[in-house]
């Protein structure tokens, strides 16, 4: 894979486009996030269809055409220095075939989001550009730590994140370097076999998810195995696994790092030799620290776990 471009740091007063490429939001849900962006010295520029709604079995933030227009305008406007998704949900896959980045190539900018935004981040990485897998402008129902947003603004300022974590009983020791790929497992799984799928070879895979039955989680991990993903990657990082299984039967339903989900993943990758790190603070969890999708990462799993990025 060719070198991945990391966008230039932002300056005080720069404009950040706020768009809704997937699920719908209302103004009250973004009020706090937009004010935070202003307080940090940036100017949020609202997409034309940021608050639009289109119901088609799901409440989308406008039609495919409307959401695509906001995305392409934000990516290609040279006066916009970063693009921040209002939320995830579902709908980003609709846009993949018609994303335009002709002007973006001359003015690369950070794209920020997680959850359903994983597919847009895969698209950008395949074109040679890094993005931020981090908290959306809309905070989740379980809240978000101040440090989660601090980390995003640190990346926007040009600082590459470094993390040191406590060990987890399911970790597998080892040390590797590679580009970080992945995001929400359901979307990594949904892109398998398409031209928009991540390139897994010699890269470090990150996965997280929310609200999946255990059999569905097993199916997704099994599909990755059948696709040869675990024979290609150099390392695996597992983040939040939240609200997994059946709420009535699962006493861990509200936990950020579901124990049963972790055991299912651990069992599936047990015959491979790459390092595995469980319990990374990223995903549909309150402490959602940002990762750089496409960033060159160094992973060391031992008595402690370290992950850092470099140019």
The pLDDT, as a whole number, for residue 162 is 97
Residues of the chain with pLDDT below 50 are 248
pLDDT at 1: 54
Q: Please tell me the predicted confidence (pLDDT) of residue 280.
A: 98
pLDDT, tens only, 271-303? 999 999 999 999 999 999 999 999 999 999 999
CATH architecture of 162-310: 3-Layer(bba) Sandwich (3.50)
Q: Write the CATH number of the domain with boundaries 15-156.
A: 3.40.50.10740
**pLDDT for 215-260, tens place per residue?**
999 999 999 999 999 999 999 999 999 999 975 455 555 578 999 9
> Given this model, what pLDDT does residue 143 score?
86
Q: What is the pLDDT of residue 169?
A: 97
- pLDDT of 292 reads 98
What pLDDT does residue 141 have?
A: 78
pLDDT value for 253: 53
Contact 218, 264 (CB under 8 A): yes
Q: CATH 3.50.30.60: which residues of the chain?
A: 162-310
The full DSSP string for the chain is -PPPBPPPPP-TT-EEEEE-SSB---HHHHHHHHHHHHHTT-EEEE-TTTT--EESSSEESS-HHHHHHHHHHHHH-TTEEEEEES--SS-GGGGGGG---TTGGGS--EEEE-GGGHHHHHHHHHTTB-EEE---SSPPTT---HHHHHHHHHHHTTPPPEEEE---TT-B-EEEEEEEEEEEHHHHHHHTTSTTS---TT-EEEEEEES--HHHHHHHHHHHHHTTHHHH-SEEEEEEEES-S-TTT-TTTT-SB-HHHHHHHHHHTTTS-S-EEE--S-SSSSS---EEET-EEEEEESSSEEEEEE-
CATH 3.40.50.10740 domain range(s) in the chain: 15-156
pLDDT attached to residue 53: 97
* Cα gap 208→227, rounded to integer Å: 19
């Amino acid at each position: 894979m060719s070198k991945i471009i990391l966008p230039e740091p932002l300056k005080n007063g720069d404009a950040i486009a706020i768009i809704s490429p997937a699920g719908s939001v209302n103004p009250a849900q973004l009020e706090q996030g937009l004010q935070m962006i202003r307080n940090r010295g940036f100017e949020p520029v609202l997409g034309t269809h940021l608050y639009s709604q289109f119901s088609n079995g799901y409440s989308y933030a406008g039609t495919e055409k409307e959401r695509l227009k906001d995305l392409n305008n934000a990516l290609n406007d040279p006066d916009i220095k970063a693009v921040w998704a209002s939320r995830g949900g579902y709908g980003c896959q609709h846009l993949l075939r018609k994303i335009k980045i002709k002007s973006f190539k001359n003015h690369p900018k950070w794209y920020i989001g997680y959850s359903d935004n994983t597919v847009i981040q895969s698209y950008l990485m395949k074109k040679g550009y890094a993005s931020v897998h981090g908290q959306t402008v809309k905070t989740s129902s379980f809240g978000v730590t101040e440090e989660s947003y601090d980390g995003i603004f640190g990346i926007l300022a040009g600082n590459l994140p470094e993390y040191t974590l406590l060990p987890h009983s399911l970790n597998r020791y080892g040390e590797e370097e590679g580009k970080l790929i992945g995001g929400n497992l359901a979307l990594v799984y949904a892109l398998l076999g398409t031209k928009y799928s991540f390139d897994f070879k010699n890269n470090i895979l990150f996965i997280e998810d929310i609200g999946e039955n255990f059999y569905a989680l097993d199916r997704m991990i099994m599909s990755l195995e059948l696709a040869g993903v675990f024979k290609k990657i150099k390392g695996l990082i597992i983040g939040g696994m939240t609200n997994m299984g059946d709420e009535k039967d699962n006493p861990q339903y509200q936990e950020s790092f579901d124990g049963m989900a972790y055991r299912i993943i651990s069992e599936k990758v047990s015959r491979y030799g790459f390092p595995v790190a469980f319990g990374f603070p990223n995903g549909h969890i309150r402490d959602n620290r940002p990762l750089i999708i496409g960033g060159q990462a160094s992973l060391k799993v031992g008595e402690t776990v370290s992950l850092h990025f470099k140019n």
